[in-house]
Amino acid sequence: MDVTSRPLPRGALPHEPEIRLVPPLRRGDQVAFLSLSGPLAAHCPRRLRRAADDLTRRGLRVRIDPTTQLATGRTAGPADVRAAAFTAAVLDPDVRAVISAVGGEGARDILPYLDASVLAASPTAVVGYSDTTSLLLWLYHGPGWTTYYGPAALPQFGEYGGGAEFTWHGLWDRLSGADPAGGVLPSHDDVVVETLLWDAQDDRPRTVSGSAARVVWRPGHVTGPLVAANITVLADDLRAGLHTGVRWDGHVVCLEESDTVSAEELGQSVTVLADSGLLDGAAALVVGRFAQDHRRTWEPGLSRRLLRPLVRRCSGPVIADCEFGHTDPVLTLPIGGLMTVDAPVPGRGRPRLLLAPTAARRAAAVRAPLATRAGTSSQEER
């Protein structure tokens, strides 16, 4: 029996669904690009083709779904059409992974057209970030799949010359199970935030904008199941009534934000998240890189001040400037994976993120306690 089809025990981890590990990706497998949200793929055919070529040269077969050719206002076709395309891709035995073509808005709208009972029997790797948050969390809390908060086709793999090696290896390691023993997620201090208009100016590699190491906002050491989301999208999900009754206590919560969001908008979204109770008792908070910080369009320290209400909700360590979100390169974070956050006292080493092997995850699911905390301060950082 393929061990990837066996679920973990339900209820062993707080507020965690029965987890189904998706089958691993292999060289020669087919992946599908779907436009689940906005229509940019239809407007940027050259960049879409470059993304397909990049993954092809890395040993995958790429199927470009017809949704990537659709553009109806702000979305890539009607919600029911995108939902039907997603369902068809998941049920197709030849498709081993669905990769979001690009974000935007509209992924939430496809959820009423998805049937969890139909999808549940065909766990498939689904990868994306930003607006894809709604779908990734729906699949995690509903059918109970491990999903992947990571690169999208156009933003990362449609780059001139192909996607960053750091980004590619992070994706491949997660989806292929290349590191079954788990281990440290690598860090990368380079930050790229330069904007080149797609299919018009993107005829050269983007320049490195600067350097930034992960930073500890609150020290500690903790282990818990990982969840990841875009702050604004998650807040809008909550406003729309999604994730009712869900709590992320005991979880390692990874949050990032879009590069076009204003400080006022971020503050409003943070208030929604804090008031919802979703993050109350979170084991750790891991914050992605804010493009606004690295473009210096926000005053120094602003993002940290705006996130204080969420830091207060977290019971364990907090680290920031991690390699995911709307800067490049990016990690791939397995939603439902077991992550350890090691955040030493500043000056005593660099913070680390570690993923546990599958065997350890199964053991953790039947052992108590879920998380261990050492050197964690409950006092909010100044």
Upper half-sphere CA count for residue 240 (Cβ side, 13 Å)? 15
The Cα-based distances of 14 to 4, 11, 34, 264 in angstroms read 22, 6, 32, 33
Tokens of 344: 């030493």
Model pLDDT, residue 364: 43
Model pLDDT, residue 182: 67
Model pLDDT, residue 346: 86
Contact (Cβ atoms closer than 8 angstroms) between residue 353 and residue 185: yes
The Cα-based distances of 298 to 155, 301, 330, 381 in angstroms read 23, 8, 22, 20
Model pLDDT, residue 1: 23
Q: Per-10-residue mean pLDDT for the chain, 382 residues long?
A: 30 51 93 98 98 98 98 97 98 97 97 95 96 97 94 98 97 85 87 97 96 96 97 98 93 97 98 97 98 96 97 97 97 96 93 79 37 38 42
What count of other Cβ atoms lies within 10 Å of the Cβ of residue 56? 12
